[in-house]
Amino acid sequence: MINFDEEIEKFQPSLEIEQAEDVINNNDLTDISDILKELLKQKSDK
């Protein structure tokens, strides 16, 4: 049988996942609220 305690002790997260997490969290992506703000700004400027 699998000894889950031993397996958990040996577990190390992949560096690729940690690097991907940093990239995702640091991206400044446009979301729907940014688009709506821009549309409202354009409408009020007219």
The DSSP letter of residue 33 is H
The DSSP letter of residue 4 is H
Cα 46 to the center of its chain, rounded Å = 36
pLDDT band with cut points at 50, 70 and 90 for residue 5: very high
Position 7 scores a pLDDT of 93
Position 6 scores a pLDDT of 94
pLDDT in tens, 6-46: 999 999 887 788 888 888 888 877 888 889 999 999 999 87
- The reported pTM is 0.40
